[in-house]
């Protein structure tokens, strides 16, 4: 862990006893409000300017995510990573190492790389509620429920970040300078929702994730999206066949995507939920979660010696 993060966590653990979040610890950056990026609110939610608490990251996120209550967010053990989005919103993470298994599988779980896929972030919040305690979990989790907070908290949620970049096209895949631009121009017709950026890792969100992958060294990356209602997988082990009602169905290969970037070194599982705006029901969410844990247990080795040679470029 970097010294800055350690210091932040230490300070945090001293100042907060009952909840990971407090208004003081996680107050929204002043300049975000100054730039007019006030969140949308549920009908019965207080306006952001009414109370200090309403400006905390949890208050802002749960005002947008209808399936996530403030209590769910506040009890989720999220902490600030030290990184911030382009508009200064903190990138939040939950890190939970296994205390029962020394050589535990390290899993990086990411939601909301596309800001308009609200269900992807909500699902990660939901699954965090079901995370087994560290002393009975065989996995070392690193969880990022909202990688693109600016896109999610925009007046109208949008896929791209505050700089208009599709973060899932901004990773430094081979020949990015040629391929990502060519794909954007010729295949998408310069679709602004799919702009890959001016250079790889030009955005603070993608840059932080790239650094976090190098630091954490996950043995599996799970990225949650919507709304295709399928599973996709890139890696040297047997792919999952089915989680709940979601079945394996490759969905394409894209220059600059997270899967294409890291999938030849680390298995990348893409979960495409069936709706961007609505979570599957609780029973289905539970089936997906349990099927996923079982598949990880049976297929992802805990050592670092995952074969890399047979990997193929990933989709999404
Ligand atoms: Zn997506």
Least confident of 49-63, 97-111, 159-173, 289-303: 49-63
Query: 117 C-alpha vs ligand 1 centroid, how far in Å?
Result: 6
Report the separation in Å between the CA atom of 273 and the middle of ligand 1, taken as the mean of its atom positions.
Answer: 10
167 CA distance to ligand 1 middle (Å)? 10
Radius of gyration, CA atoms only, the chain: 19
**Ligand 1 centroid – CA 88 distance (Å):** 22
Between the CA of 17 and the centroid of ligand 1 the distance, in Å, is: 36
> Over the stretch 55-77, which tens digit does the pLDDT of each residue have?
799 999 999 999 999 999 999 99
Q: How far does the centroid of ligand 1 lie from the alpha carbon of residue 57, in Å? A: 22
Nearest to 171 by CA among 219, 217, 209: 209
Give the environment of ion ligand 1: residues with CB less than 5 A.
114, 117, 225
Q: Running DSSP on this structure, what letter comes out for residue 245?
A: T
| H or E stretch at 11 | helix 3-15
| 218-255 confidence digits (pLDDT tens) | 999 999 999 999 999 988 888 999 999 999 998 877 99
Q: Which CATH number fits domain 76-299: 3.40.630.10, 3.30.70.250, 3.90.1300.10, 3.20.20.70?
A: 3.40.630.10
Q: What are the residues whose beta carbons fall under 8 Å from the beta carbon of 143, sequence distance 6 or more?
A: 78, 93, 94, 95, 96, 108, 109, 124, 128
pTM for the whole structure:
0.81
Cα 19 to middle of ligand 1, angstroms: 31
Whether 223 and 269 have beta carbons less than 8 Å apart is answered as: yes
Distance in Å, CA 50 to ligand 1 centroid? 34
């Amino acid at each position: 862990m970097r010294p800055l993060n350690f210091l932040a966590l230490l300070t945090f653990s001293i100042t907060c006893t009952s909840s990971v979040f407090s208004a003081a610890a996680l107050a929204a950056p002043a300049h975000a409000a100054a730039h007019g990026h006030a969140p949308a609110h549920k009908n019965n939610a207080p306006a952001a300017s009414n109370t200090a608490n309403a400006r905390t990251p949890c208050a802002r996120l749960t005002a947008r995510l209808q399936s996530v209550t403030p209590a769910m967010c506040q009890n989720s053990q999220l902490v600030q990573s030290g990184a911030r989005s382009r508009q200064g919103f903190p990138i939040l993470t939950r890190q939970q190492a296994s205390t029962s298994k020394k050589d535990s599988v390290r899993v990086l779980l990411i939601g909301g790389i596309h800001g308009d896929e609200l269900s992807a972030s909500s699902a990660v919040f939901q699954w965090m509620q079901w995370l087994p305690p560290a002393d009975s979990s065989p996995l070392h989790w690193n969880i990022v429920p909202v990688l693109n907070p600016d896109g999610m908290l925009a007046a109208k949620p949008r896929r791209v970040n505050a700089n208009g970049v599709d973060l899932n096209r901004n990773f430094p895949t081979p020949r990015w300078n040629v391929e990502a631009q060519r794909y954007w121009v010729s295949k998408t017709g310069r679709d602004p929702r799919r702009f890959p950026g001016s250079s790889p890792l030009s955005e603070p969100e993608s840059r932080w994730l790239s650094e976090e992958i190098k630091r954490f060294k996950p043995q599996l990356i799970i990225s949650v999206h919507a709304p295709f209602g399928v599973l996709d997988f890139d890696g040297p082990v047997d792919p999952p066949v089915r989680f709940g009602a979601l079945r394996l169905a490759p969905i394409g290969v894209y220059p600059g995507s997270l899967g294409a970037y890291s999938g030849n070194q680390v298995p990348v599982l893409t979960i495409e939920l069936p709706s961007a705006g609505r979570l599957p029901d609780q029973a289905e969410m539970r089936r997906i979660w349990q099927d996923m844990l079982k598949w990880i247990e049976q297929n992802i080795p805990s050592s670092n010696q995952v074969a890399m040679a047979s990997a193929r470029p990933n989709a999404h």
